[in-house]
Amino acid sequence: MKSYKRILLKLSGEAMTSEGEFGMNQDIILNVANEIKTVMDKGIQVVVVVGGGNIWRFRDNEQSGIERTSSDYIGMMATIMNSVGLQSTLESIGVYTRVCSAINIPQLAEPYLRRRALRHLEKGRVVICAGGTGNPFFTTDSAAALRASELDCEALFKATNVDGVFDKDPNKHSDAVRYDSITYEEAIEKNLKIMDQAAFSLCREQQVPIRVFNFGEKGVLLKAALGKDVGTLVSK
């Protein structure tokens, strides 16, 4: 398979810190930035969507008395914090980056405008889409699917802590079998939890291929961007 020209990388908030910890780990963020730089150095355009679970998760604060809508907006602000942290680290290693936020916060990020984001990509800048979709009740997976569709990304790379999509949880079942590739329809039939339903449905409708892989393996992002078989490919 040929290398991609433009990809979207979906990172969980947990990818910004050590397992079981909260906040940001600068050494880990630097590793993430270096992985992205290797892809940029090949002339491949990169869009990034980062979650906020390392700072705020509704399920962990459900009993706090904070209503779901407010909690989701706190989560969106957490994604902006992660995005600005990643931007600063990328620029410290010479990668031009723009944070485009779905929430208006001009002191930290420019507003997300599709045409402006495309122009940044054409100029060789990493575009980090922050603030989720800008609406409560939607996950950052949904934001990733939306931005990948809007920005004409050739694939959505979902970075996880497991090596692809399995027939059951590999962390709980030693006999779990990994799929090298699977169709959208097969994933639905087998009830595989690749992304939330809204995000997966959008990728399926817009025929955006999803590549799921273990981001902990050094160099895996570049391999995926060059079209090599890593993890699991979900497509039509």
Q: What is the CATH number of domain 6-235?
A: 3.40.1160.10
Has residue 193 got a pLDDT over 90? no
Has residue 217 got a pLDDT over 80? yes
Has residue 33 got a pLDDT over 90? yes
In the structure, what pLDDT confidence band is assigned to residue 57 with cuts at 50, 70 and 90? confident
pLDDT tens string 151-162: 999 999 999 988
Q: How far apart are CA 187 and CA 208, in angstroms?
A: 14
Percent of the chain with pLDDT over 90: 79
Task: Read off φ and ψ for residue 197, nearest 5 degrees.
Answer: -60, -40
pLDDT score of 128: 98
Has residue 60 got a pLDDT over 80? no
pLDDT score of 61: 67
Contacts of 46 (CB under 8 A, 6+ apart): 6, 7, 8, 9, 36, 39, 40, 126, 127
Average pLDDT, the chain: 93
pLDDT score of 165: 93
Mean pLDDT, residues 183-200 taken together: 91
Has residue 200 got a pLDDT over 70? yes
Name the DSSP class of 70. H
Under a CB-based contact definition with an 8 Å cutoff, are residues 147 and 118 in contact? no
How many C-beta neighbours within 10 Å does residue 107 have? 4
Under a CB-based contact definition with an 8 Å cutoff, are residues 78 and 105 in contact? no
pLDDT score of 52: 94
Q: How far apart are CA 29 and CA 114, in angstroms?
A: 26
pLDDT score of 69: 93
Has residue 209 got a pLDDT over 80? yes
As a whole number of Å, the CA-based R_g of the chain is 17
Q: Where are the beta strands (DSSP E) in the chain?
A: 6-11, 45-50, 97-101, 110-111, 126-130, 155-160, 165-166, 178-179, 181-183, 210-214, 232-235
In the structure, what pLDDT confidence band is assigned to residue 58 with cuts at 50, 70 and 90? confident
Has residue 216 got a pLDDT over 90? no
In the structure, what pLDDT confidence band is assigned to residue 55 with cuts at 50, 70 and 90? very high
Type of residue numbered 114: R
